[in-house]
Amino acid sequence: MSETQREGLVVRRYGGFYYVFTGEAVLACKLRGKIRDQVVTGDRVVITVLGTGTGVVEKVLPRRTELVRPRIANVDKVFIVFSCNCPEPSLVLLDRLLVLASCHGLYPYIVLNKCDLDPAPRAVDIIDYYPRAGYKLILTSAVNGEGIDEVVKEVEGSISVLAGPSGVGKSSLLNAVFPDRYLPTQEISEKTGRGRHTTRHVELFSLENGGWIADTPGFSVMDLPRMKREDLARHFIEFEPLAAYCRFADCLHYQEENCAVKESVSRGEIAQFRYQNYCSFLGEVIEAERCYR
């Protein structure tokens, strides 16, 4: 690289500019015309510094990971945020997001926000089952500060993303992590029980410990990633160690006999709702396979 070139991290895209952190400052950059690939938040790039806080993006460096919804690159960890109540969490959406994180090789955390409220029945299911299945669960409250320090500690040294539906308090969590910054929040609609989107773009915020955390637009529907039917079970972490005890090596844990996963469900070790979500997802994967042929 020349003396005027720097490597940097894209922390935000807004108004046609790419805001790049170089380790010293955030520069507002335009793209060099030869760049054809779409540059997204989280990309590592090479820029030419023009002075007066501006620059030009010359090159996009290879990505380690990439998410499509939300669109962000080079993420290490994903914090899947739901609320204990108002709105009640969706176990189907939670499992979809856990599958997505696993498919992208990301370490997932389940965050139950608004733990100052009485937990709804599905929140109780999350608290009772998912840590036992092997997932990391953090209870947080943007109101009283519970769990905020734990989130900050887990983000250290990584690029992390908050993901989850609208209205669960992702922006409120970030306001608790960064009390000197204000991110707009919205109340839950009395008519629908859902939150309205308050985040309009993906932006990375830096922590004093060197980590980065992103707020993302909320969403409520997500398609499963394309995969083979045999691959789905390994994205349900409590299924994996049981597969070796199934009668068939290629067991789908659906209609086969002598299936260790189904036996575990019958004993109550695997939650019925979790297995039902798996079967529903399996049907989607099989149908998608037919469409791709």
Does residue 131 share a domain with residue 32?
Answer: no
Query: Which residue numbers belong to the known binding site for GTP?
Result: 113-116, 164-172
217 pLDDT band (50/70/90 cuts)?
Answer: low
Other CB atoms closer than 10 Å to residue 145's CB: what's the count?
12
How many distinct helices (H) and strands (E) make up the chain?
6, 13
Domain at 280, CATH number: 1.10.40.50
The last residue of a domain, from among 60, 75, 93: 60
User: Per DSSP, what are the bridge partners of residue 47?
Assistant: 6, 57
Beta bridge partners of 20: 10, 27
What's the Rg (C-alpha) of the chain? Answer: 21
Q: List the domain range (segments joined by +) for residue 107.
A: 66-215
Summarize pLDDT for 148-188 with one digit per residue, the tens: 999 999 999 999 998 888 889 988 898 898 877 655 544 44
Of all residues in the chain, the percent with pLDDT exceeding 70 is: 90
Give the angle 203-212-126 at the CA atoms, nearest 5°: 90
Predicted TM-score of the model (pTM): 0.86
Residues 287 and 209 in one domain: no
Q: Are residues 106 and 199 in the same domain?
A: yes
Look at residue 210 and tell me if it is in a domain. yes
Among candidates 109, 81, 92, which has minimal Cα distance to 195? 81
What are the residues whose beta carbons fall under 8 Å from the beta carbon of 128, sequence distance 6 or more? none
- Same domain, residue pair 111 and 194: yes
- pLDDT reported for residue 202: 84
CA–CA distance, 21 with 194 (Å, rounded to integer): 35
Structure confidence by residue, pLDDT tens digits, 24-73: 899 999 998 888 778 999 999 999 999 789 999 999 999 999 887 778 89
Do 133 and 85 lie in one domain? The reply is yes
- Give the residue numbers of the binding site for Zn(2+): 246, 251, 253, 259
- Annotated binding-site residue numbers: 113-116, 164-172, 246, 251, 253, 259
